Amino acid sequence: MLQHSILETLPEDLHRDALSGLQPLRFEHGKVLFRAGDPCQGLPLVLNGIVKVQMTGLSGNSIVLYRMGADDICTLSIGCLMTGDGFRAEAVVEEDAELFMVPRGLFDRLMDQSADFRLGIMESYGRRLNDLMLLVEEVAFRRMDERLEHWLEVRAEKGAITITHQELAVELGTAREVVSRLLKELERKGRLRLARGKIEFIGSFVE
């Protein structure tokens, strides 16, 4: 389904006009869409798949800031698009994704001519700001065991997931050893089973 809801709200002529200039780009798992310092090519509209955005601190540690899925807009790019500054973060394709890349000129035109488009952009910005505020709160005040358990609970329905402790550490913005120890603790409590690169949920997680 190669469409994006923010384009569907456009009046017919604008819509046809916009689509004619946009090719869906296909990216595979693991592909780095952009990295810290890259200039901005345009505004990415995610059609399907999942892209995660993470940043690496001066210390070398990384943390996942948020994810984008179908119908999402990479609002982070707008800032760069406007000011010409580079990104502070990097985006990595987590599940094979397709997206439209809206160039600066078209973006300006859509902003100028469609109130719905503007609304969509503003809403997306608001959501992103909100996400980041919640992340700040979580990182600053929540305990790591709670955060880890919460992260696991969200994905527990799948029964098992494929992820290394290092990757999990980046998700939470902590150290690999911390994740290893906490997971081991959960295994001792009989709530999951650990294997190399895999976590299997049992007991309280699945219920």
Partner DNA sequence: GAATGTTCAGTGATAAAGTCACACAGAGCG
Partner DNA sequence: CGCTCTGTGTGACTTTATCACTGAACATTC
For position 181 contacting DNA by CB under 7 A, the verdict is: yes
- Region near a second copy per CB under 8 A, out of 12-20, 25-33, 104-112, 147-155: 104-112
Structural tokens at position 93:
């394709």
Task: Give the footprint of DNA on residues 73-132 (CB under 7 A).
Answer: none
**Which residues pair with residue 53 across a beta bridge?**
66, 91
145 binds, among DNA, a second copy, none (CB under 5 to 8 A by kind): DNA
Mark 7-26 with x for binding to DNA (rule: CB under 7 A) and - for no binding. --------------------
144 binds, among a second copy, DNA, none (CB under 5 to 8 A by kind): DNA
What size, in residues, is the chain?
Answer: 207
Q: How many helices (H) and strands (E) does the chain have?
A: 8, 8
Task: Give the footprint of DNA on residues 55-84 (CB under 7 A).
Answer: 59, 61
**Which residues pair with residue 54 across a beta bridge?**
64, 90
Alpha-helical runs (H) found in 87-164: 104-113, 115-141, 144-155
**Integer Cα distance of 116 and 69 in angstroms:** 20
164 binds, among a second copy, DNA, none (CB under 5 to 8 A by kind): DNA
**Integer Cα distance of 119 and 36 in angstroms:** 28
Give the SS3 label for residue 99. Answer: strand
For position 118 contacting a second copy by CB under 8 A, the verdict is: yes
How many whole angstroms from its chain centre is CA 75? Answer: 11
Q: Find the helix packing angle between 104-113 and 115-141, rounded to 10°.
A: 110
For position 80 contacting a second copy by CB under 8 A, the verdict is: yes
Least distance in Å: CB of 194 to DNA? 5
Q: Which is nearer to DNA, 154 or 195 (CB)?
A: 195
Residues that bind a second copy (CB under 8 A): 55, 57-59, 61, 63, 65, 75-76, 78-80, 82-83, 85, 88-89, 108, 111-112, 115, 118-119, 122-123, 125-130, 132-137, 139-142, 173
